[in-house]
Structure 1
Amino acid sequence: MGPHPAVADVRRAVRDALADLSPGDLVLAACSGGADSLALAAALAFVAPRANIRAGLLTVDHQLQEGSKDRAVKVAETAKAWGLDPVEVLTVRVGTAGGPEAAARDARYQALAEAADRWGAAAVLLAHTRDDQAETVLLGLARGSGPRSLSGMARRAGRYRRPFLHLGRDSTESACEALGLDVWDDPHNADTRYTRVKVRRRVLPVLEKELGPGVAQALARTAELARDDSDALDEWASKVFDDCALSDIGAVVTLAVPALEGLPSAVRRRVLRRAAIAAGAPSGALSAGHVMAAERLITAWRGQGRADLPGGVGVVRRYGTLVFAPAPENQA
């Protein structure tokens, strides 16, 4: 008799995610102790020796809750009992930039990246599910962030891999139950002060009730389609940038206006965004409004002056070129 269907699903997902790795490669699972990441770690512990790869685990102590250290130690002990090696507890200090959710995420990813470098990992597995993807798409819609935000989380991004993006949270919970795993319920997942929790506990249930089941699957499918489109537009914009960049010296980027005038806005704005970032504008602070202000120097040119961008960067039009550069007082 084979394993429970949910157990088989999570193991298959992990096996498929690791299919391109070489024998002896090290894979690390990021595990909080919740159902999603515990199912991920258990599946990796099962799959890795059969695929002739090494497997370990990282768990992050954000120090935001009483008992967080004990929880992290328990996760580490469970991983060691499964034969995972190396196993490491990463203790981080969460800042305040961008709000509590963003600050915790930034601290966590920095710690994971440093640990992956330290251990020489070929891949780090993250346990985001189809439900997480649906929440990400809804948050992107609410913020008006554009198609790149609507494309949600990538199955692969550098060394990070998300094997469960096609599986619902019910699959990971069922797998943990079938395996008899002691799942940790993060109190933050019930705290509706957090925007993502509001989407999870209030918005998605209403959509499912009013529109019928399958909303999460549809949103996740939308993310996949939007990512394909965004990737294609990004590739087009990259080629245009290479063709029309007249100079890229230090923090000064110059673009030829005629090469940009006939482009679709979706491509042109990507080129302008890339130029702004190359000139020193922080990507996280560069909004659609900033990029549109730069675009008006092409599409609505009436001799207007400098358009200000984040980070002290500005863009001006001179003799058929756009010049992106820091303000004089910001230039070294």
Structure 2
Amino acid sequence: MAAGHPSQADCRRAVRGVLPPVGVVLAAVSGGPDSLALAAALAAEASSATDLRAGAVVVDHGLQEDSAAVAQRAAAACRTLGLAPVTVVAADATPRPGESLETAARRARYAAIEAVADELGDGEPVTVLLGHTRDDQAEQVLLGLARGSGARSLSGMPAARTVRTARGEVRLVRPFLTLPRATTLAACDAWGLDPWHDPHNTDRRHARVRARAALAELEGVLGPGLADGLVRTADLLRADADLLDALTAAARAALPGALDDGGVDAGTLAPLEPALRRRVLRVLLLEAGCPPGSLAVVHVDRVDALLVGWRGQGPADLPGGVRVARVDGRLHALAGPGAPPAPPGAV
């Protein structure tokens, strides 16, 4: 497949840089311009690689009346490009308690993608390419800033990460994180592809859509380098967040017990440095059943106050129906669905 336009060359170069020498590589395709350009670039780059199987996985979230038709259309485009196998999979995007529709759709999408990759790999590592662009990364960081999030949230999406599955490992890679969305749009046009434009991407009820509009407005005021600046910020913070995550994991491993299993000693947690202590608390709260997409800094601060601002106050009510109280010098998750009874003396 020719790459006569600079946008095609940019897309192909980005994909070429992340392809493994052997194995299965799948493009995660929605039918939108980013994922279609990704599929076309993968097909072009894999056409001369004899030891690679290049396919695609299309997820139907069922969120719109014509979602099944959109998924089949995307799959047909991938097959026309020469990708095989091409798998269409349905995903249940029903939100869990305390979960937004966006979070539910993302959770369901990754679960479906990983399941398909796991089956196709049959124990061998599989690489899945995701079509997120530089603009997606900048919007992610902007949303984190608006929420007052910490370093991990502000570090944006990683260029690559590996997840363990039932049969092996799946490597998720984002080759387009340095490319603007305009490049994928131009590449689709140059390749003669007709992408689907998700109406959710213009629905201002979704936070990401509002962030996209705000970013465009801010770039008009502050200059066109804003998106690049946000992405650089994410890159710088990611190394910091990785170090803090490693320290958090070590601190959690050294801490006996769990909030919903005998509680944890407040005297051991309280002396930790605030940045580390709050991260350990977040891990404990996730273990106790707080939904990751709903657990915010304000919730962690409520539990932190039970450690360093203890005045005999009552339990902290948290997302997912989790309630944490301090009893006899220990933090406990109180009775609720799947939680143990409140210990004696709990308020």
Residues in 1 aligned to 2:39 and 2:336: alpha-carbon distance in whole angstroms? 52
Picking from 203, 206, 209, the partner of 2:217 is: 206
Tell me the residue number matched to 1:70.
Answer: 69
Secondary structure of 2:331's match?
Answer: strand
Secondary structure of 2:17's match?
Answer: helix
Q: Does 1:53 align with 2:52?
A: yes
| 2:269–2:277 contact (8 Å) kept in structure 1 | no
Q: Does 1:316 align with 2:314?
A: no
Residues in 1 aligned to 2:88 and 2:311: alpha-carbon distance in whole angstroms? 58
| 2:323–2:333 contact (8 Å) kept in structure 1 | yes
Q: Does 1:327 align with 2:331?
A: no
Offset at 1:215? Answer: 1.0
Tell me the residue number matched to 1:163.
Answer: 175
Q: 1:68 to 1:235 in 2, by over 3 A?
A: same
TM-score of the aligned structures, taking structure 2 as reference length: 0.83
Residues in 2 aligned to 1:305 and 1:180: alpha-carbon distance in whole angstroms? 63
Tell me the residue number matched to 1:184.
Answer: 196
CA offset digits 1:129-152 (Å, max 9, x no partner)? 000111111112222233222222
- How does 1:131-280 map onto structure 2 within 5 Å? 131-158=135-162, 159-200=171-212, 202-243=213-254, 245-248=255-258, 251-255=261-265, 257-258=267-268, 260-261=270-271, 263-280=272-289
Flag structure 1 segments of 5+ consecutive residues without an equivalent.
none
Secondary structure of 1:193's match?
Answer: coil
Tell which deviates more after alignment, 171-180 or 308-317: 308-317
Offset at 1:253? Answer: 4.4
Q: 1:257 to 1:82 in 2, by over 3 A?
A: same
Secondary structure of 2:74's match?
Answer: helix
CA offset digits 1:137-178 (Å, max 9, x no partner)? 111222223322222211123232111111111111122222
- The structure in which a higher percent of residues are helix is 1
| Percent of residue pairs bearing the same amino acid type | 48
Tell which deviates more after alignment, 95-104 or 233-242: 95-104
Q: Does 1:126 align with 2:130?
A: yes
Secondary structure of 1:324's match?
Answer: strand
Paired amino acid for 2:86: V
CA offset digits 1:250-280 (Å, max 9, x no partner)? 733424625641x331111111222233344
Q: 1:198 to 1:278 in 2, by over 3 A?
A: closer
Offset at 1:231? Answer: 1.3
Picking from 28, 31, 37, the partner of 1:30 is: 28
Offset at 1:296? Answer: 2.4
| 2:286–2:292 contact (8 Å) kept in structure 1 | yes
TM-score of the aligned structures, taking structure 1 as reference length: 0.86
**Alignment length (residue pairs):** 324
Q: Does 1:294 align with 2:303?
A: yes
Tell me the residue number matched to 2:165.
Answer: none
Tell me the residue number matched to 2:112.
Answer: 111
CA offset digits 1:275-298 (Å, max 9, x no partner)? 233344443343322322222233
Tell me the residue number matched to 2:42.
Answer: 44
| 1:150–1:223 contact (8 Å) kept in structure 2 | yes
Q: CA RMSD in A?
A: 2.6
Offset at 1:221? Answer: 1.4
Residues in 2 aligned to 1:35 and 1:297: alpha-carbon distance in whole angstroms? 49
Tell which deviates more after alignment, 68-77 or 207-216: 68-77
Tell me the residue number matched to 1:100.
Answer: 101
Q: 1:45 to 1:254 in 2, by over 3 A?
A: same
Flag structure 2 segments of 5+ consecutive residues without an equivalent.
163-170, 342-347
Residues in 2 aligned to 1:106 and 1:242: alpha-carbon distance in whole angstroms? 27
Tell which deviates more after alignment, 115-124 or 156-165: 115-124
